[in-house]
Amino acid sequence: MTIQTEVVIVGAGPCGLFQVFELGLLGIKAHLLDSLPGPGGQCAELYPEKPIYDIPALPVCGAQELVDRLLEQIKPFGATMHFGHEVTEVKKRDDGRFDVATGPGLAFDAGAVIIAGGVGSFQPRRLGVDGADRFENRQIFYRVKAAAEFQGQHLVIFGGGDSALDWTLALAEKAASMTLVHRRAEFRAAPASVAKMQEMVAAGRMRFIEGTAQALETSGETMTGVVVKDAAGAEHALRADSLLAFFGLAPKLGPIAEWGIALEKKALLVDTEKFQTSVPGIFAVGDINTYPGKKKLILSGFHEAALAAFGVQNYLYPQKRQFLQYTTTSPVMHQRLGVGEAG
C-alpha cells in the first residue's frame, strides 16, 4: 500500500526533527524516515551525553537532551516516524510528485522530499586487529551511550580526536584504570582537552601511549586485554575490560548518490534561497548539503530548515500567497501549535 503525504523527510537527526516543526507552522504534514532504530541521528548514536554550547537560549544542552526537546517541540504536528527504514529509491514523476521507497518495503507518494541525512549512511572506522568483530558491542565499542556502563572497569581508549579525548576525560575518574592510545603525539582534539589529559598523565591518574593496537588477549569468549606497540617498537600488554575506539566515521551517501542530484565533494548542492537541490521538489538541509559559505553547525541547519519549509510550500502550492506570520501573535500559528489564544 502506498502512503500519500505532502512531504517525506529523510533523516531524523536534529535538523530533520526541526524540519517537522517548520513545516508544521505552515500547515504542512510530513512523514519522517531514518535508517537508525530511533530519532536523533549522530547526536543520539555517537555522543548522547556530550554537551552542546551553541544552541540559542540554552547555555549548555546535552546531545540527547536536545533531541528530547525537539521531539517535545514537534508533538503538535503529529508527524509519522518510521525507523529502521533506509530510503533506497526516490523517483520524480511527470506530475512533479515523487515515488519514495524504503528497503523494508514502505512506499510513499510524496509531494516533496527533504533530505536531512547528516553525513549520509555512516559506519565507524573499526579497530584493525584480528578477532575484534567477535567482541563488538560486548567489550569493544565505537560509541558510548552512557558513561555509567563503564564504571569501575579497566579501559583502553583509541583515537586522537574530540570524541576520544572527551570520553577519556569523562571516564577517567570512573574507571579502575585508563589508558589512551594514539598513533602519534599530535592530536586533532581541542587543545584544552589535550592539556587536561596531559595533566592527568603527569599526575599518574591515567596513562598515554603513542602507538597502535597489535592484538587482543582473550580467555575463551572473554577479551582480557590488548597488546599495543609504541612508537619505539616496544609492546605493552594492557589489561582491558572494554576497548573504546574513536577513529571517526566513514560517511557514505549510499542510495542518495543514485537519485540524480548534483553533488560536490559527496554533498548535495543547494541554493541559499530555499535550499532546493538540482532536482526541483527535492530539498536538503543540515550536513548533507553544501553551498558557498556552508558551515556544518546544528544552528545553521535550523536556519536552513526554516527557509526550506517556505520553499516546499511554494513548490506544493505555487498559487498560494506566502505570508510571514509570527508565533507570538498569529492565531493560525497558535491553533497549529495547540496553545490557544495568546495570553
Predicted confidence at residue 42, as pLDDT, reads 75
Does 241 share its domain with 275? no
Predicted confidence at residue 341, as pLDDT, reads 55
Predicted confidence at residue 343, as pLDDT, reads 44
What is the residue type of 14? P
Name the domain boundary from 183, 214, 247: 247
Predicted confidence at residue 324, as pLDDT, reads 87
Tell me 192's DSSP state.
H
Q: How many CB atoms lie within 10 A of CB 135?
A: 18
Percentage of the chain modeled with pLDDT above 70: 96
- Cell numbers standing for residue 218: 582473550
From start to end of 220-298, where are the E strands? Answer: 222-230, 235-239, 242-245, 249-252, 263-264, 267-269, 282-284, 289-290
The pLDDT tens digits for 192-238 are 999 999 999 999 999 999 999 999 999 999 999 999 999 999 999 99
Domain that holds residue 196: 126-247
In-domain check, residue 343: no
In-domain check, residue 342: no
Does 89 share its domain with 193? no
In-domain check, residue 199: yes
Predicted confidence at residue 20, as pLDDT, reads 97
- Cell numbers standing for residue 158: 583509541
Does 131 share its domain with 243? yes
The pLDDT tens digits for 128-172 are 999 999 999 999 999 887 888 999 999 999 999 998 999 999 999
What is the residue type of 340? G
The pLDDT tens digits for 11-48 are 999 999 999 999 999 999 999 999 888 888 877 776 77
Tell me 254's DSSP state.
G
CA distance 332 to 159: 51
Q: Which residue bears the cell 508565533?
A: 327
CATH number of the domain enclosing 283: 3.50.50.60
Per the structure, the count of domains in the chain is 2
Name the domain boundary from 247, 267, 293: 247
Name the domain boundary from 219, 247, 275: 247
Does 222 share its domain with 237? yes
Q: How many residues does the chain have?
A: 343
pTM: 0.67
Residue 122 has pLDDT above 80, yes or no: no
Does 259 share its domain with 117? yes
What is the residue type of 279? V
Does 240 share its domain with 258? no
Does 256 share its domain with 228? no
